[in-house]
Amino acid sequence: MHGLTIDKRTAVKSGALLLTLLALLAVAFLIVTRQRGATQSPNQVNRESAQQGHESAEGETLAEAESNAESRTPASIPPATRGAESPARPPGILVEVAPCGSIGYGGHEVEISIENISSVGGWALKRSARTENLASFFEGVTPGRWSVKSALGHDEVVAVAAGDFVRVELAVEGLTEHCVVAVVDPAGSAVAEATVFADGFDRGKTGEDGTIAIGCIKRGSLLSASSAEYASPAPIQFSNWRPQPVEIQLREKGASLNVELSQIAGVETIRVSVGIIHTTLMAFEEIGSDWYTSNPLLEAEMLPGSVRKFEGVPAGRWVGITASGANVATAQEAIWLREGESRTVRLDLQKGVTVHGRVIGENLLPLAQAWVGEAPLGLYGKRSVETDADGWYELHQICPGERKLEAIGPPGCSVVEVVSIKENSTSEWNPVLACGFQISGQVATTEGEPVQGVLAALLDPARPNLWLSTVRTGREGHFDLWGALPEGNIISVVRSGEGLGYLEGARMEGLVGGTTGLVLEWQEPATGVQVRVTDPVGRRLENVVLEFTPLPKADDSVIWRRLDGEGGALTPSGRFSLSLRHEEFGVADLGEHNLEANALKDLGEVNFKAPAWMSMRLSIQQARWSIEIRLAESGHLVFKEVDATGRSLYGPFQPGSYRIVASPPHGNDFSTTVVLEDGETSVIGW
């Protein structure tokens, strides 16, 4: 044989070395195994303890589960445990969520997240995990303050030092509840074998009596139900103050609609929506093209060239179908459906084209912040865009052909034209608006610093509450207002925002149309209220909305402002009727108050009582009722519903006297006054 030759002495020496090496490896393996047994990872330890807890809890009844859950969860759990007490743990944050009896969280994962809230420059590091064993370990956590949250509503802050191991236990006491859900059909009869969902998760089926007991759901969860025979209603928000059982009333399936999309190259998905058209027209009347829908009732993603069936489409009214997508012109179709009917609608998809141009006034100056789009502007499915500082705009994804376009500047300054839009090319439209005189200027502080983003409004001197036009100040505090009169104009500059109302910081009167170079001195408004709001057991409430109606009262228009963490809110000055609204407790009337400019009014403490509810049953089961519920003394509107079915549970309401008006589609109104007691459900009928 040819190759390498090894003598016997060399082979013996090699074998001895190999045996020595194997012995050393075996000893090292035993040492590592013992160390791993002494220092198991946090995730492994928690998985084993969670499994043991689950096995020991098997066989409990619902009542036992509730009592055991209370005994397992200490009344006071320290938010975090430092690494000095367990030096064997690696640095990081271990988050553990307390179990909720033997029921758990419906067998679904709980999302846990941590976020560094002490990052420099506003950049925050956020990490999250979904876990079934109710524990997550986050390694490599940088020093600083971390916010620890869970999908159950926890939100705690812990401080982490370099090399720290921090253990955070999140209790469920007060965050989750058990409840009974009753599912009924449109006539009020129990529905067996209906599937009940909490926040989209399947929690089981109802029994023969139409009810199901579900546990460990958080306050604010959305409850819904489905059945093979009926359509699902809008979800109901769960509250531990809501009377039990929580009733979910299914609705008739109505009609079905098959939507077919044409083929189109280069497009992956199309969003198709179905909604109710707001019109009084009947089936035999022509609806035209200027219809619109509110938020869609049904939506789905579809592929071009596909067909999808929509079940439970409302019948006996006009419905609109809208298809939209990237690089596709919006396609719409209106159709009338009868009860039980099945129809097919085909939407032809076309590549959208661009329309561009410039909006100018009759003096040939450009109009900034004007709106251009498909007429009528602002309707669902109609594309629109705002002009830039020089009046230019680009309107994309418009369907080719003869299209009606609209441009709107200041109030009363608009134009509508039919424009011929070419295929496979860009079209141009340059509308001219007759907007009257212009007034321009700057808003600045007493130190000369420009004020950006406040709202400059041109007022009618004959009717000072009427705004002729508005515009927000630019980067240098500059504004251009159109629609001014030849003389006597008023300009008011206000700070505005969601629920803020309009807080005036500057004002100038007697201005001549065509004035330029104005400088309005800005004084930051400081009018506001302070109020401490508590629940029925004296705990401070958050997410409370302050509603104020200007007096003398002209209509039901309400300005609202969400109270901050200290119960404060900025408000306009003047005389108002005030009330507080909370989603779990209803509306509390605060009476009439005069709010003085640049002054803080202390409203004291308001204690919400246990909410009351109304179970309303009208003798005539007819769709499209209108229900209005007002405070009997002040007439303040606390609830309004159109298209009511005539049978439902309404609430929550604060105890007190209420005036109810039920208006059928035809005939006389029904009205009554009812006094609601704490925590009670009153049955109302005619």
Residue 537's CATH number: 2.60.40.1120
Give residue 129's pLDDT: 67
Q: Whole-angstrom Cα distance, residue 51 to residue 629?
A: 51
Contact between residue 289 and residue 247 where contact means Cβ atoms under 8 Å apart: no
Q: Whole-angstrom Cα distance, residue 623 to residue 642?
A: 9
Domain that holds residue 449: 443-521
- Are residues 464 and 424 both part of a single domain? no
First to last CA, the chain: 111
Q: Which residues pair with 184 in a beta bridge?
A: 190, 249
Q: Whole-angstrom Cα distance, residue 649 to residue 392?
A: 52
- Are residues 262 and 241 both part of a single domain? no
Please tell me which of 116-120, 136-140, 404-408, 493-497 the model is most confident about, judged by mean pLDDT. Answer: 404-408
**Is the per-residue pLDDT at 392 higher than 90?**
yes
**What does the CA dihedral 159, 161, 167, 170 come to, rounded to 10 degrees?**
10
Please tell me which residue, 90 or 108, carries the higher pLDDT value. 90
15 within domain boundaries: no
Lowest-confidence pick of 134-148, 482-496, 652-666: 134-148
Tokens of 247: 């009733």
CATH (domain of 628)? 2.60.40.10
Q: What is the mean pLDDT of the chain?
A: 76
28 within domain boundaries: no
Residue 49 backbone dihedrals phi, psi, to 5 degrees? -65, -40
Residue 120 gets which letter from DSSP? G
675: buried, middle or exposed (CB in 10 Å: 19+, 13-18, 0-12)?
Answer: exposed
- Are residues 325 and 369 both part of a single domain? no
Q: Of 410, 433, 456, which marks where a domain is finished?
A: 433
645 within domain boundaries: yes
18 within domain boundaries: no
166 within domain boundaries: yes
pLDDT tens for each residue of 262-281? 998 888 889 898 888 877 67
Lowest-confidence pick of 49-53, 178-182, 270-274, 434-438: 49-53
Q: Whole-angstrom Cα distance, residue 501 to residue 522?
A: 18
- Are residues 428 and 464 both part of a single domain? no
Cα angle value 142/146/151 (rounded, 5°):
125
CATH (domain of 463)? 2.60.40
Lowest-confidence pick of 21-35, 153-167, 193-207, 601-615: 21-35
Contact between residue 446 and residue 454 where contact means Cβ atoms under 8 Å apart: no
Tokens of 260: 């077919």
Band of pLDDT at residue 294, cut at 50, 70 and 90: low
- Are residues 397 and 410 both part of a single domain? yes
- Provide the whole-model pTM: 0.45
- Are residues 50 and 162 both part of a single domain? yes
Q: Which residues contact 29 (CB under 8 A, 6 or more apart)?
A: none
Q: Of 282, 312, 347, which marks where a domain is finished?
A: 347
- Are residues 141 and 66 both part of a single domain? yes
Q: Which of 400, 363, 408 is nearest to 417 (CA)?
A: 408
Q: Whole-angstrom Cα distance, residue 275 to residue 296?
A: 5
Contact between residue 606 and residue 560 where contact means Cβ atoms under 8 Å apart: no
413 within domain boundaries: yes
- Are residues 373 and 460 both part of a single domain? no
Q: Quick one: CA dihedral 387, 392, 394, 395, positive or negative?
A: positive
Contact between residue 563 and residue 531 where contact means Cβ atoms under 8 Å apart: yes
84: buried, middle or exposed (CB in 10 Å: 19+, 13-18, 0-12)?
Answer: exposed
1 within domain boundaries: no
- According to DSSP, the β-strands at 255-261 and 342-347 are parallel
Please tell me which residue, 23 or 91, carries the higher pLDDT value. 91
- Are residues 47 and 143 both part of a single domain? yes
Q: Of 433, 464, 486, which marks where a domain is finished?
A: 433
Conformation bin of residue 350: beta by default, left when phi > 0, alpha when psi is -120 to 50: beta
- Are residues 547 and 561 both part of a single domain? yes
427 within domain boundaries: yes
Which single residue is written with the structure tokens 């229900």? 627
- Are residues 341 and 269 both part of a single domain? yes
447: buried, middle or exposed (CB in 10 Å: 19+, 13-18, 0-12)?
Answer: exposed
**Is the per-residue pLDDT at 491 higher than 90?**
yes
pLDDT tens for each residue of 535-570? 888 888 888 989 888 888 767 777 788 887 778 887
Give residue 120's pLDDT: 40
Domains contained in the chain, number:
7
pLDDT tens for each residue of 397-425? 888 888 889 898 865 578 888 898 888 88
- Are residues 335 and 363 both part of a single domain? no
**Is the per-residue pLDDT at 520 higher than 90?**
yes
Q: Whole-angstrom Cα distance, residue 603 to residue 232?
A: 43
Residue 422 gets which letter from DSSP? P
